[in-house]
Amino acid sequence: MVKKQTKGQKIRAYLILTVVALLFMFPLVWMIASSFKNDAQIFGDISSIRAFWPTFNKEPFFNYKSVVAKLPLLSSMLHSILYIFVTITLSLIINSMAGYALARIRFPKKKLIMTAILAVMIIPTQTVMLPQFSIIYKLHCTNSYLGLILPALANPMYIYLFRQQFLGIPESIEEAAKLDGAGQLRIFFQLFVPLAKPIYATVTILQFVLMWNDFVWPVMVISDTKKQTVQMALSSLFNIKPVNYGDVMAGLTIVTIPVLVLFLTLQKYYVAGIASTGAKD
């Protein structure tokens, strides 16, 4: 029997969680505050509490105007959002169908395949980058968004998350659908997909953040500046000498906005998705 928390225990828990949340927010707050300062103000305030408070000059958004003038940042953000949207859409279909098959369909060597998928999860991404690039090169997909999309379509971690979610759905629901004459595809799309909204939201957030922040793989694949991703465009600020850190902070703030919007939109599903992927067998 779960013991009910008292009002005092709840208050202490919320206070502790608030303090921890503020600690994690410090870098974000400092970045946003610094985006309204020039370099002298950033380094002058860095050792005091003023580092977390913006200094509004006569023209408070001068860093934002500067970074937009120097870089094709907005167009790079649009390109990144479009190819990531395509990738996530296809990835959700592929990974969820693989997870459904491993969770609900009986076929030979299923446990062996699941073991292999779990084993692949521990292999660092960096170790397979060169073979992966070799494949993309031989497919003539370099310097194209297809070279960014193809390697991201299947992910062992996402397959595992979907499998765990589908294992938690009662078999009685599936059996009732089969009695009504529903096939596997109809059961999957009309029954399992609506019941698995939290894990779809979770994978959407995880993959968006992963691809939005990715820098190494796009640099290896994309050479055309007109096709560069948001992180490639942002890195160009360090090639402009002298480096203006106010511009860097403004650029970082701009590219963080889509991530925050997506997370705030899907956060309730994200929490439910993470909570529902416990150990099931």
- Which CATH number do you get for residue 164? 1.10.3720.10
Q: CA geometry: angle at 201 spanning 197 and 205, to 5°?
A: 170
Domain count, the chain: 2
Q: What is the number of helices (H) and of strands (E) in the chain?
A: 15, 0
26 pLDDT more than 60 = yes
Domain range for 106 is 71-275
3-class secondary-structure state, position 48: coil
Q: Which amino acid is at 27?
A: P
Same domain, residue pair 94 and 190? yes
pLDDT digits (tens, 9 = 90+) for 133-149: 999 999 999 999 999 99
Contacts of 89 (CB under 8 A, 6+ apart): none
Q: What is the pLDDT of residue 35?
A: 92
Among 60, 79, 102, the domain-final residue is 60
* Assigned domain for 42 exists: yes
Same domain, residue pair 46 and 164? no
Same domain, residue pair 229 and 93? yes
The per-residue pLDDT of the chain, averaged, comes to 88
* Assigned domain for 148 exists: yes
Among 16, 31, 60, the domain-final residue is 60
* Assigned domain for 242 exists: yes
* Assigned domain for 245 exists: yes
Per the rule left: phi > 0, alpha: psi between -120 and 50, beta: everything else, 24 is alpha
**pLDDT interval class at 281 (50, 70, 90):** low
Residue of 258, 247, 150, 263 lying closest to 212 (CA atoms): 258
What's the rounded mean pLDDT across residues 230-254? 90
* Assigned domain for 66 exists: no
Contacts of 160 (CB under 8 A, 6+ apart): 99, 117, 118, 121
Same domain, residue pair 25 and 138? no
